[in-house]
A = this chain, B = another copy of it.
């Protein structure tokens, strides 16, 4: 790349999973708006045709970046400045097992890609892939910044650092933004103004991805927690709105009731959406069964929906590819490109990311990947000291981090028995240990073709 003080040319961005129809298009939208950047985006995908389609789509957009499909990982990485990783590990068939197989045992998951039985089995097949990525980055572009969007986020980032300790990788997630926006609305209501934009809501964030907590929030000098306490009390004093599967229905919607319930109990605000918070909670609380979930104002996302949704995206992709329809820019709300700009020295920022714990959360183990605010500036990314996990939420977070450490260690050793030790302690796994083992074995069998490296 060439740096001109106020703009950068010849930037090389490698996108692993570059055939995607979600994040790849988001990146295209955001890069098209970044007038101070230009260069090439290399699209690597195990589905070369998908990468090719995105190459054509990307190049159809009038902006400063060229797109180029690659079918070899090493070549796609050689000399890169940034690497974006956003893959689907396995297919929706495996994901269907992750999400729905536990239901037979009375274990329900709202998402199933981060934690719980689904998240753990997904980790088993994903982490060996991330070992490959980490080594390829070490060998081809050791100085590149690496941004991961793949779930399970925490364990993916953990793995990159395990195989290449010198990697400059971090994990990004937009879940906290939604809570900031909610607090911005709470601010507006409490102080009789327009809702404050989320960027003006200052939060201290700590925890692990999708189970991140806000321990302090202010806007324009005002502590927002008293207002949010009132808001939460009022919200819970009325019953949940019934969930109606009409044209406005979304599987991703929530009524923030879990967030309010946990805030009133713990005094800290769950930073991720209710669907995630619920999954990290004990099975009996919010995910006893689909009806319990609905009584808390959210629904479970079936993998069938994802299959259907992808079909639509493939159609849209075809339209873009053939030029029947021009590429649609969206207000993505994502920060990835701004983070790149900050790391290039084009404007500092502080936002939440996933990084190995170097002490930013002193009462969590070192090296575990945690989510806190970090300071992005020219050439450096440094976590902000977030402080100890407050004691009220410490039991749940300590448990989850330890499960993740257990699973990470088991994956590294390709040891299913060791992975089960984490699985059986997951808060959603409320069954007997022997039933848990049966479930585990079944889920492993269902996804066996991705688990061939593990000793059985």
Query: Top 9 nearest A-B pairs by Cβ distance?
Result: A359-B359, A221-B345, A398-B402, A218-B378, A395-B425, A399-B399, A392-B421, A5-B220, A391-B409
Q: Which of B265, B360, B396, B424 contacts A385 (CB 8 A)?
A: B360
On whether the beta carbons of B360 and A221 are closer than 8 Å, the reply is no
* Distance of A193 Cα from B394 Cα, bound (Å): 48
Using Cβ atoms and an 8 Å threshold, which residues of chain B touch A202?
345, 348, 377-380
Shortest distance between the CB of A393 and any CB in chain B (Å):
7
A448 sits at the interface (CB 8 A): no
- In the bound complex, what is the Cα–Cα distance between A373 and B288 (angstroms)? 42
How far is it, in angstroms, between the C-alpha of A405 and the C-alpha of B399 when the chains are bound? 13
Q: How far is the CA of A256 from the CA of B138 in the complex (A)?
A: 39
Within 8 A of B (CB), among A331-390: 344-346, 348, 350, 358-360, 362-363, 365, 373, 375, 377-380, 382-387
Cβ-defined contact, B348 with A378, below 8 A: no
Interface size on A, residues (CB 8 A): 73
- Whether the pair A216, B285 counts as a contact (CB closer than 8 A) is no
Whether A386 touches B382, Cβ cut-off 8 Å, given contacts A221-B345, A345-B221, A362-B358, is yes
Q: How far is the CA of A204 from the CA of B191 in the complex (A)?
A: 38
Tell me if B222 and A5 are in contact (CB < 8 A): yes
Known contacts A382-B386, A384-B384; 17 additional CB pairs below 8 A are: A3-B222, A5-B193, A202-B377, A202-B379, A204-B382, A216-B379, A218-B378, A221-B345, A266-B421, A348-B350, A358-B385, A375-B375, A382-B387, A385-B385, A392-B418, A398-B401, A399-B399
Cβ of A350: which chain B residues have Cβ within 8 Å of it? 348, 350, 375, 377
> Known contacts being A385-B358, A433-B285, is A216 close to B395, with CB within 8 Å?
no
A182 at the interface (CB under 8 A from B): no
By a CB distance below 8 angstroms, the chain B residues around A395 are: 399, 402-403, 406, 421-422, 425
User: If the complex has contacts A5-B221, A385-B383, are A392 and B406 also in contact, measured as CB distance less than 8 A?
Assistant: yes
- Is A78 at the interface (CB under 8 A from chain B)? no
Chain B residues in 8 Å Cβ range of A8: 221
Whether A410 contacts B391 by the Cβ 8 Å rule is yes
| Cα of A420 to Cα of B267 in the assembled complex, Å | 12
A6 at the interface (CB under 8 A from B): yes
Question: Which residues in window 418-456 of A have CB below 8 A to B?
Answer: 418, 420-422, 424-425, 430-433
B360 x A284 contact (CB < 8 A)? no
In this assembly, does A189 line the interface, its C-beta being within 8 Å of a C-beta of chain B?
Answer: no
Q: Does A93 contact B (CB under 8 A)?
A: no
A282–chain B nearest beta-carbon distance, Å: 7
29 A-B residue contacts at CB 8 Å?
Answer: A3-B222, A5-B220, A5-B221, A6-B220, A8-B221, A202-B379, A216-B380, A218-B345, A218-B378, A218-B379, A218-B380, A219-B345, A222-B378, A261-B433, A284-B430, A284-B431, A288-B432, A358-B359, A359-B359, A359-B362, A360-B385, A362-B365, A384-B384, A385-B385, A391-B408, A392-B421, A394-B406, A395-B406, A396-B402
In whole angstroms, how far apart are the Cα atoms of A375 and B398 in the complex? 26
